[in-house]
Amino acid sequence: MPTQKPRLSITVEPDTFALVQRLSDLGGGSVASIIREIIETAQPVLEHMIKAAEAYQAAESGKQAEILAALEGAEARILPDATRLQAETLEAFRKAAAQE
């Protein structure tokens, strides 16, 4: 039975598709279900992004410059922590794999 839900057609880079395909193979779900799950998981973030973009567009140009500067400052503070967290997570997986 055909679905009444909207459909998407997307084009991705081969390495992105390979990652999703690997997740699909490991979890037993279809590639489409993996992508749907990723998008649904990201929905709260997407909603915040929309609110932020709407607020930015509604702001006067001087205020927009302040917003951009604040975002750039936040990125500079967050990026090192995100990189460190990624490295720590990878190391934890390596240790767990070595113990098996």
Residue 6 forms part of a structural domain: no
Number of domains comprising the chain: 2
pLDDT digits (tens, 9 = 90+) for 84-99: 889 899 888 888 888 8
- Tokens representing 54? 């709407």
pTM: 0.60
Q: Which domain holds residue 29?
A: 12-58
- CB distance 56 to 67 below 8 Å: yes
pLDDT digits (tens, 9 = 90+) for 16-43: 999 999 999 998 899 999 999 999 999 9
Residue 82 forms part of a structural domain: yes
Cβ neighbours of residue 21 closer than 8 Å, sequence gap 6 or more: 31
Residue 33 forms part of a structural domain: yes
Q: Are residues 47 and 70 part of one domain? A: no
Q: Are residues 17 and 53 part of one domain? A: yes
CB atoms within 10 A of CB 64: 14
